Amino acid sequence: MMGSDLDYEAVFNAIVVPSVVLTPDFVIVAVNDALLNVVKRTRADVLGQHAFTAFPDNPGAPDDPAAHGMEHLRASLERVAATGRRNALPMQRYDVEVPGRPGVFEERYWSAVTAPVLGPDGEVELIIHAFEEVTDFLRQLRRYGEHGVTDSSPALEEMTTNVYARAQELHHLNE
């Protein structure tokens, strides 16, 4: 199945990595099902919205370096729009507003890659932002640390290895 027979929207929606497609001025033009599932929103909630209107910063986030997700995401999107080159973000905190409860945010942690879609003239036409939520992994690590557990389960070891490998991949992409 090649060319025009391929349903690109169905392919995009089947991708298991949460992804959003933005214009160069950060208006959301497409989201996949994985993204909607992880942020518990509908397409109607986010399509046509500016990224930072649809996903506002948490005004009550603690003053900690990990809690500057919007600032880091904005810088990443701006770099991609300006350079036309991919940019990776290391794990960071970016809280998500609870649907139906304005001003109430859930603590969330993410690792992301932002990539340009270039037009025939080489200019950035769209921006794809794909991310992986790592909140549960961090919570599990905290629980192990709080209980003074020195040995770890195979599942935790596998997650730690995966996060380390992802961090290395992001580091190499940025270089």
- Answer yes or no: do 30 and 82 share one domain: yes
Q: Which residues pair with 50 in a beta bridge?
A: 27
Domains: count for the chain: 2
- Show pLDDT as tens, one digit a residue, over the chain (175 residues): 555 688 889 999 999 999 999 999 999 999 999 999 988 999 999 999 999 999 888 777 666 555 567 888 899 999 999 999 999 887 777 788 888 888 888 888 888 899 999 999 999 999 999 988 877 777 776 666 555 555 555 655 566 556 655 655 555 555 5
- Answer yes or no: do 56 and 113 share one domain: yes
CA–CA dist 54, 73 (Å, integer): 14
- 3-state SS, residue 41: coil
**Backbone angles phi and psi of 127, in degrees to 5:** -130, 130
- Answer yes or no: do 90 and 143 share one domain: no
CA–CA dist 98, 58 (Å, integer): 11
Query: For residue 151, what are the domain limits?
Result: 136-175
Residue from 101, 104, 105, 78 nearest 89 by CA: 78
Specify the pTM.
Answer: 0.75
- Answer yes or no: do 43 and 64 share one domain: yes
- Answer yes or no: do 112 and 166 share one domain: no
Structure tokens at 137: 């992994």
Decide: residue 24, CB within 10 A, 0-12 exposed, 13-18 middle, 19+ buried.
middle
Residue 165's pLDDT is 59
- Answer yes or no: do 140 and 93 share one domain: no
- Answer yes or no: do 25 and 52 share one domain: yes
CA angle at 79 for the pair 75 and 20, rounded to the nearest 5°: 75
Residue 98's pLDDT is 84
Domain containing residue 126: CATH number: 3.30.450.20
Residue 65's pLDDT is 55
Long-range contacts of 104-107 (CB under 8 A, 24+ apart): 105/58, 105/60, 105/61, 107/135
- Answer yes or no: do 127 and 143 share one domain: no
- Answer yes or no: do 11 and 51 share one domain: yes
- Answer yes or no: do 158 and 113 share one domain: no
